[in-house]
Amino acid sequence: MIEFKVEKTPGFDKKLAVLNKIPARVVPEGRKELVRITVKLRNAVQRSLKAAKTGEIYDWRGAHPGEEPDSYLEMFGGGKAWLVPIKKRAALHQASAPGEPPAIDTGEMRSRLFIDNRSDAIEFGSLSADPPYPLWLETGTENIEARPWLEPVVKKFEPKIEDAIIKALNQSPAFGI
């Protein structure tokens, strides 16, 4: 079987669950198209992160690994607490407002977006897991209003994904069409 999924995207994975029942021999014709669409989806997410924001302006930033922090910010989410090292900024930073995709700060989240198409699955998501900033930003927490960065873009791409799958099925000798 070929498994189609979008990592850490509430709800969308369920919409694609029916595709997991399609035998792998049926889909090869559409695989390249699905990978191409997934690359476009990742690029669209990255563009949305770069777009102008309208949130608060800050003079602090997250400290880079190995960098001596000036202070620590306590963050809570998922029943856990983290001390996040922070540094005074050289220049001001415009954050995202609730409902906007997150503004790029250190660039770590954007750099950790991935596409894995080495196996039978085509996966797209974020490798950031501890603390799970991408998930917190996508869905919000008790202290942070959601700044969805993946679901809005995925929704725009759903018709393209569906069209590629239908095209693959229509071209498949296994379906006799």
Q: For every residue of the chain, which 3-state class applies, written as one string?
A: CCCEEECCCCCHHHHCHHHHHCCHHHCHHHHHHHHHHHHHHHHHHHHHHHCCCCCCEEEEEECCCCCCCCEEEEEEECCEEEEEEEEEEEEEEECCCCCCCCCCCCCHHHHCEEEECCCCCEEEEECCCCCCHHHHHHHCCCCCCCCCCCHHHHHHHHHHHHHHHHHHHHHCHHHCC
**pLDDT at residue 68, as a whole number:** 95
How much is the average pLDDT of 53-67? 91
**pLDDT at residue 129, as a whole number:** 66
Count up the domains in the chain and report the number.
1
**pLDDT at residue 168, as a whole number:** 67
State the residue range of the domain holding 72: 4-175
Residues 117-135 have pLDDT tens digits of: 766 566 677 776 667 888 8
Residue of 9 and 87 predicted with greater confidence: 87
Distance CA 51, CA 147 (A): 13
Kindly indicate the confidence band of residue 18, based on its pLDDT and cuts at 50, 70 and 90: very low
How many of the other CB atoms lie within 10 Å of CB of 98?
Answer: 11
**pLDDT at residue 5, as a whole number:** 46
pLDDT above 90: residue 144? no
pLDDT above 70: residue 72? yes
pLDDT above 90: residue 25? no
pLDDT above 50: residue 15? no
How much is the average pLDDT of 3-13? 47
Residue 89 phi/psi, 5° resolution? Answer: -80, 150
